[in-house]
């Protein structure tokens, strides 16, 4: 086998992905130290581990890489053919690691809408941590957030999760947001400090933003079914300003979260719904293997602020209750 043939064989092995980087590091260290024991000391592993890596590498390539001499370990002809490519691989790997270690990528957090309560929670976290680099993105909820979190496009997402999502994804209860009634100032209920949810029975609530198959449309469908009112999701949905203006101009009823920053309008009133208080469940969704250091801090921040479901005064769909119940001691 000529030297050119050796080089071609090494290149083919790299392209096919047959080379283990740990074994390549051991190989390069031995060639530089000419000693298995010195290479082991440099790599911080045992001499036995170095020997096993080299034996595995030689087995994978089908060649012998070293021969023993009185002065240590010298390269065979096949080992010499591999050395240039091995050094290049180690160099590229080190450059990649240095690039990632020196880069402080912002934590990417997905929310359904920046007007919702999740954004205020993220702002509180940013204020609490001082140095937290955060990038907020918006999506259409769980339908896109699930894949985005799984692929690493975003690090976390605030969504309603009512069913298991698989072993790789983790959802931590974040908060339970009370539901408020949004009505015009001329509505008979406008002068009330609070409205019992049972008083909505027989009425129709207008929610043009309730996209079909979304987790929030499902929540309000279940809420309406539990207390006898209908949901009108007819649109088009022209945004918050249009929604508030339309509610204020007529006798339509709307429902919004307590923490939602609804645009101010002189003709609308926002009133808490009680007896029981419907609460919208939001969880923080993330990947179990995501290593971003700020994600662990965000999870701890969310868990510390979470207040569990109170069945005596709050209402949740049955599918959400187990995740939001108090932890058993």
Handedness of CA 169, 172, 174, 175 (dihedral sign): positive
The correct answer on CATH 1.10.1060.10 for the domain covering 3-101 is no
Angle at 123 between CA 151 and CA 107, to 5 degrees: 25
Q: Which of 298, 309, 299 is nearest to 177 (CA)?
A: 309
In tens, the pLDDT along 246-255 reads 999 988 999 9
Mean pLDDT of 37-44: 89
In tens, the pLDDT along 164-174 reads 888 899 999 99
Mean pLDDT of 272-284: 98
pTM equals 0.70
Pick 244 or 251 by higher pLDDT. 244
Q: For residues 206 and 208, give the distance between their C-alpha atoms in angstroms, rounded to a whole number.
A: 6
**Domain spans, the chain:** 3-101, 107-323
In tens, the pLDDT along 79-119 reads 999 999 999 998 998 888 776 665 568 899 999 999 999 99
Q: Helices H, strands E: what count in the chain?
A: 11, 13
CA atoms within 13 A on the CB side of 88: 9
In tens, the pLDDT along 136-148 reads 999 899 999 999 9
- Asked whether 94 and 25 are in contact (CB, 8 A), the reply is no
Q: Which CATH number fits domain 107-323: 3.90.79.10, 3.40.190.290, 3.40.1480.10, 3.90.420.10?
A: 3.40.190.290
Mark out the alpha helices in 168-317 (DSSP H runs): 215-227, 240-249, 293-305
Residue 10 binned pLDDT confidence (cut-offs 50, 70, 90): very low
Q: For residues 225 and 227, give the distance between their C-alpha atoms in angstroms, rounded to a whole number.
A: 6
């Amino acid at each position: 086998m000529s030297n050119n043939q050796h080089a071609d064989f090494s290149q083919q092995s790299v392209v096919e992905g047959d080379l283990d980087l740990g074994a390549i590091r051991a190989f390069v260290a031995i060639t530089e130290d000419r000693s298995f024991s010195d290479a082991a000391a440099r790599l911080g592993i045992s001499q036995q581990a170095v020997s096993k890596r080299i034996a595995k590498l030689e087995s994978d390539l089908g060649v012998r890489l070293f021969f023993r001499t009185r002065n240590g370990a010298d390269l065979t002809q096949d080992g010499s053919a591999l050395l240039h490519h091995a050094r290049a691989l180690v160099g590229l790997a080190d450059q990649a690691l240095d690039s990632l270690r020196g880069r402080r990528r912002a934590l990417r957090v997905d929310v359904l809408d920046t007007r919702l309560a999740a954004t205020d929670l993220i702002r509180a976290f940013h204020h609490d941590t001082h140095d937290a680099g955060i990038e907020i993105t918006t999506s259409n909820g769980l339908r896109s957030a699930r894949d985005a979190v799984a692929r690493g496009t975003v690090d976390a997402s605030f969504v309603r999760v009512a069913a298991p999502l698989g072993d790789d994804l983790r959802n931590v209860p974040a908060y339970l947001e009370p539901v408020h009634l949004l009505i015009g100032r001329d509505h008979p209920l406008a002068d009330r400090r609070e409205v019992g949810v049972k008083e909505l029975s027989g009425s129709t609530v207008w929610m043009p933003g309730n996209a079909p198959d979304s987790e929030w449309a499902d929540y309000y469908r279940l809420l309406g079914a539990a207390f006898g009112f209908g949901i009108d999701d007819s649109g088009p949905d022209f945004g918050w300003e249009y929604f508030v203006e339309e509610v204020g101009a007529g006798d339509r009823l709307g429902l919004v979260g307590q923490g939602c920053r609804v645009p101010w309008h002189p003709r609308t009133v926002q009133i808490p719904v009680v007896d029981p208080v419907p609460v919208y469940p939001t969880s923080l969704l993330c990947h179990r293997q995501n290593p971003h250091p700020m994600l662990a801090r965000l999870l701890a921040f969310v868990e510390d602020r979470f207040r569990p479901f109170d069945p005596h005064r709050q209402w949740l769909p049955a599918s959400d209750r187990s995740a939001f119940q108090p932890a058993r001691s």
